[in-house]
């Protein structure tokens, strides 16, 4: 993308942020990484040619006495493309969360390409509370599929801190093991029972992504104790160069996979043979 166009987009993002800061106090509006904001200002002012990371914001909204958290991630292409938005509320179940975020995404997609955070907030103020519906607890227990599976998820990129936090939190809630590698591309491995992994995947893929899909799925056809390769679920960053680099070191990723007896999967994911880092 042309640096001049990126600078223009980032100027628009800073203007929109300034407008938000004029309406919301620091307890309501949070810039997730002030260093990123400083880097964006330096790029816009011409003090550096290094592209900054994406801007991450969190906006805490009170709507009809209900607390909603709007997580915002702005790529270098915004406002020419849609922002990455994700809404949370502790009273919403997973299905309600997915429906709310899907409807918000569709609303934003229907708008002309211009700064639209205020439009998203206005839509939430008009609609968010209606998604909080108390559901009767189904007394009939759903039979869980205890078959062990492993899903390899490929995403165009994973930058948003709110998404990364949700990926980790949900995996830990469901006792899923594996790892998440943020950056471009983003790679996630989840393993556990089929019921838990499917629930995790249905929730995560319902978030607003540029592109995300389950590239490979494996099912246990052997002794269960040898199928699971990871002991916990964690985020792993394999830095390629300096701290601002968004592309991961694939040699380090391959070594990590080899250490967990998963090196065979590298070619299946990327279509090339791996070269371990020296």
Tell me the CATH number at 106.
3.10.110.10
253 and 183 Cβ atoms separated by less than 8 Å? no
Quick one: how far is CA 8 from the chain centroid? 25
* Same domain for 182 and 266: yes
* Same domain for 55 and 160: no
3 state DSSP class of 89: coil
Domain that holds residue 207: 148-270
Is 249 inside any structural domain?
Answer: yes
Its pTM stands at: 0.77
Separation of alpha carbons 273 and 267, rounded Å: 5
Report in angstroms the alpha-carbon separations of 81 from 163, 207, 230: 18, 16, 37
276 and 258 Cβ atoms separated by less than 8 Å? yes
Is 70 inside any structural domain?
Answer: yes
* Same domain for 168 and 123: no
How many domains, the chain?
A: 2
Is 136 inside any structural domain?
Answer: no
Q: Of the residues 69, 104, 131, which one is the last residue of a structural domain?
A: 131
Is 76 inside any structural domain?
Answer: yes
Alpha helices (H) in 111-159, listed in sequence order: 117-127
Q: Of the residues 105, 131, 157, which one is the last residue of a structural domain?
A: 131
What tens-digit pLDDT sequence spans the chain (278 residues)?
Answer: 788 999 999 999 999 999 999 999 999 999 999 999 999 999 999 999 999 999 999 999 999 999 999 999 999 999 999 999 999 998 888 888 889 999 999 999 999 989 999 999 999 999 999 998 755 444 445 577 788 999 999 999 898 888 898 999 999 999 999 999 998 899 999 999 999 999 999 889 888 888 899 999 999 876 666 899 999 999 999 876 554 556 678 889 999 999 999 999 999 999 888 765 55
pLDDT value for 240? 63
Report in angstroms the alpha-carbon separations of 48 from 41, 78, 81, 246: 9, 20, 24, 17
Task: Calculate helix-pair angle for 94-110, 194-205, nearest 10 degrees.
Answer: 30
Alpha helices (H) in the chain, listed in sequence order: 3-23, 34-44, 94-110, 117-127, 161-173, 194-205, 224-227, 250-259, 265-270
Backbone angles phi, psi at 85, to 5 degrees: -120, 145
pLDDT value for 243? 47
Separation of alpha carbons 263 and 266, rounded Å: 6
3-state secondary structure 202-253: HHHHCCCCCCEEEEEEEECCCCHHHHCCCCCEEECCCECCCCCCCCECHHHH
Backbone angles phi, psi at 118, to 5 degrees: -65, -35
- Closest among 144, 130, 158, 115 to 16, alpha carbons compared: 115
Q: Of the residues 100, 131, 162, which one is the last residue of a structural domain?
A: 131
């Amino acid at each position: 993308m042309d640096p001049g166009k990126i600078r223009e987009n980032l100027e628009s993002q800073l203007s929109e942020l300034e407008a938000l800061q004029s309406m919301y106090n620091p307890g309501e509006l949070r810039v997730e990484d002030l260093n990123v904001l400083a880097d964006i200002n330096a790029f816009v002012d011409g003090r550096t040619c290094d592209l900054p990371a994406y801007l991450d914001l969190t906006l805490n909204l009170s709507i009809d006495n209900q607390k909603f958290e709007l997580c915002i991630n702005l790529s270098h292409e915004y406002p020419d493309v849609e922002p990455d938005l994700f809404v949370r509320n502790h009273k919403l179940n997973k299905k309600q969360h997915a429906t709310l975020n899907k409807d918000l995404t569709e609303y934003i997609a229907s708008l002309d390409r211009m700064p639209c955070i205020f439009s998203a907030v206005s839509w939430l103020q008009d609609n968010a509370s209606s998604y909080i519906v108390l559901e009767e607890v189904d007394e009939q227990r759903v039979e869980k599929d205890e078959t062990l599976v492993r899903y390899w998820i490929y995403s165009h990129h994973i930058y948003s801190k709110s998404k990364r936090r949700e990926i980790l939190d949900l995996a830990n809630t469901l006792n899923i093991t594996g790892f998440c590698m943020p950056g471009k591309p983003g790679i996630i491995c989840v393993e556990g029972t089929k019921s838990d992994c499917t629930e995790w995947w249905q929730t995560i893929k319902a978030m607003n992504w540029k592109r995300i899909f389950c590239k490979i799925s494996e099912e246990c056809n052997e002794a269960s104790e040898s199928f699971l390769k990871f002991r916990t679920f964690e985020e792993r960053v394999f830095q390629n160069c300096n701290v601002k680099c968004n592309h991961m070191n694939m040699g380090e990723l391959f070594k990590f996979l080899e250490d967990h007896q998963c090196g065979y999967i590298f070619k299946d994911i990327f279509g090339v043979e791996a070269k371990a880092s020296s």
